[in-house]
Structure 1
């Protein structure tokens, strides 16, 4: 544990949004082992001068009772016109665990949280809103989940006794709609928690240390889930309170940023380099198919059906060889031998044939049922099947197996 010494405004970290494994930036503590303190709670603020004293007082009372001298509160203020940072700084003599950062260049809640974590000393990192819409008492339950072994503990409006105090039908609809959109675009991340829109949670430093963050807007939890090594998640129900002081900062801009964030994480998890190579190889297969068809049907006089089958199969084999050598060459090198290559070829062939069936079904659905233009329908079907072929082949044909 460390000994706190009063300090002035914390310097703002610069460079990549990356949490260090062991904190040294802006340290005002004395090292006594690999961990300085147990818990660091970031409070991002903008024009919260009327709420900051109350939230600091409530949090300090709670944490002094369970982690005396073993926590810190970090107010990260985006240079508020109401000088929230100055009000927070005036509280430091009374609350020695309080630290204050004033950001004059950067803006945004998500980056404020990460900059706060970069300067934090704790092995457990947390975030809470300054407007008292997140009940401070829930911290005790979140810390209990971490102490039980959870990698991340999130406060949720959708479990146990959770809920919202006085939301309009429109706001409830927008909140649920945003969650549903997240499940469609990024199910493997958003679907891990019941309330992915929550801004009230804590996470072990080791789970996100060294990860470069790239958040957008207000939803930092999705970024942590998407980029961190999170295994065990604990959730605690809470009732989202109405703001007592100050103005709400939720606008349509935040919903647009949320969508951008989802897409950014979606494509960050998609290997674009491999996908582009896969597309180039697939395009080359068209020429193989057409060339073989011309030779067999027009020159050698073979029947059309047999020519189409042979041309299609040779194009598939050509695509496989190029993908095995180039697109997924890094994986193929780890699976040498003719037996392994044959297994990959058989899987690739089967998946491509399934893709052909999918293409036919989609064209018929779009053209015959929905009345779409046949060329547009075929273009959509080709794009869909290309994505299908790439993703399924990556998951089944080219994956590391039988390697010690």
Structure 2
């Protein structure tokens, strides 16, 4: 079996695809390290006995010390009773009282886990427990994170998986490309060391793509991928809803901000600024249509666009600071904007008079340089003064 290795820092796939002789036939694999398998569940009582049977077969045939933890979001469907009926001391179920969701459930399970290797897998039987020894051995070979992958050589999905489900997965993977070069970062089947998880910073998972969260927040250098066959669920209903897809977009934005910080804030600041131009022109047109004078229309357009820019920047660009006094922030925002306009004018005037050669196009170049300078000044003033970031961890979930 092939283990594919990647480095997310360079964001390029390593040229070598290495085959580990230890990860060949299952009968020759020997795993001695104890492992904790965390399975998030919500209304999966039909699947619990089946996944237990397959994990038990793996445990018995390979003589692996395993802790199997079901993290249940209060399904009230008989899941607790199903685990109780198993009657094994290495299997338990935890009913969660906090925030519901797959990702928070996995985080809670990893925190409760007792063994040095952590495995996450779904309860719907789509992930083969038989691949766990190969994943553990990839960790033993020096990899920091191992994915059970559908998209590397040897990986596959059920024939009836469907085009739109495949397309959804591929688009999600493409959006994650700036964060990791792994081919299947959407996989819910993965392994990492407990010590790596314990060093994670600012975990704020949302939705169901917890592997991508951990790759980024655990600051993983190397990701390996073990090919698996992804099987459609046998019982129960899929949890992949439109809400979860929208949560993924929210999640990917958080991770971009975590990884690329100021570049992302600046991009959002520019997008809001562009929307302000539209608001300005629409307000101007409306006031002129209502019979206002040109001067009133211009002032009104500027005033409304300043307010809209402030509200959008407070809600989206600098959302981590929206729990603070909005009136003080508004005064600071207007002050920074006023200073930015002064910087804009000063730079444009200096360039047009002293730095650029005489010519019809010089004034436009000077104006563009002034606009750019003013915009950068506005951003820096708002980012580090008006909406300065404090208590980063406490505000992580507001992003």
Q: State the TM bucket, normalised to the shorter chain.
A: 0.5 to 0.7
Instruction: Quote how far apart the aligned CAs of 1:186 are.
Output: 3.7
Deviations 1:208-263 (A, max 9, x none): 32422111211111111221221222111111112222222222222222222112
Deviations 1:128-179 (A, max 9, x none): 111211111111211121122211111111122211113353xx33433443
Instruction: Quote how far apart the aligned CAs of 1:42 are.
Output: 0.1
- 1:304-315 superposed matches below 5 A: 304=359, 308=363
Please state if 1:55 is matched with 2:45. no
Instruction: Give the number of aligned pairs.
Output: 281
Deviations 1:328-358 (A, max 9, x none): 99xxxxxxxxxxxxxxxxxxxxxxxxxxxxx
Please state if 1:201 is matched with 2:194. no
Evaluate the alpha carbon distance shift between residue 75 and residue 312 of structure 1 in structure 2; reply closer, same or farther with a 3 A threshold.
Answer: same
- Given the alignment, which residue of 62, 83, 105 partners 1:66? 62
Retained in 2: the 8 A contact 1:296–1:307? no
Q: Specify the SS of the correspondent of 1:85.
A: helix
Equivalent residue number for residue 149 of structure 1: 142
Q: Specify the SS of the correspondent of 1:173.
A: helix
Instruction: Quote how far apart the aligned CAs of 1:61 are.
Output: 2.5
Evaluate the alpha carbon distance shift between residue 317 and residue 83 of structure 1 in structure 2; reply closer, same or farther with a 3 A threshold.
Answer: closer
- 1:123-134 superposed matches below 5 A: 123-134=116-127
Retained in 2: the 8 A contact 1:164–1:240? yes
Evaluate the alpha carbon distance shift between residue 318 and residue 124 of structure 1 in structure 2; reply closer, same or farther with a 3 A threshold.
Answer: same
Equivalent residue number for residue 40 of structure 1: 36
Structure 1 gaps, min length 5:
1-36, 330-404
Deviations 1:377-396 (A, max 9, x none): xxxxxxxxxxxxxxxxxxxx
- Given the alignment, which residue of 251, 257, 271 partners 2:241? 251
Evaluate the alpha carbon distance shift between residue 326 and residue 48 of structure 1 in structure 2; reply closer, same or farther with a 3 A threshold.
Answer: closer
Retained in 1: the 8 A contact 2:173–2:184? no
Structure 2 gaps, min length 5:
1-32, 271-335, 385-399
Retained in 1: the 8 A contact 2:347–2:373? no
Q: Specify the SS of the correspondent of 1:125.
A: strand
- Given the alignment, which residue of 154, 160, 166 partners 1:175? 166
Evaluate the alpha carbon distance shift between residue 282 and residue 105 of structure 1 in structure 2; reply closer, same or farther with a 3 A threshold.
Answer: same
What's the C-alpha RMSD, in Å, of the aligned pairs? Answer: 3.7
Please state if 1:98 is matched with 2:85. no
Q: Specify the SS of the correspondent of 1:188.
A: coil
Evaluate the alpha carbon distance shift between residue 175 and residue 292 of structure 1 in structure 2; reply closer, same or farther with a 3 A threshold.
Answer: same
Evaluate the alpha carbon distance shift between residue 100 and residue 306 of structure 1 in structure 2; reply closer, same or farther with a 3 A threshold.
Answer: closer
Evaluate the alpha carbon distance shift between residue 181 and residue 97 of structure 1 in structure 2; reply closer, same or farther with a 3 A threshold.
Answer: closer
Retained in 2: the 8 A contact 1:179–1:197? no
Deviations 1:63-86 (A, max 9, x none): 344354x33111101111213123
Equivalent residue number for residue 240 of structure 1: 230
Retained in 2: the 8 A contact 1:288–1:311? no
Deviations 1:301-337 (A, max 9, x none): x945596499579969988x989x98999xxxxxxxx
- More off after superposition, 145-154 vs 240-249: 240-249
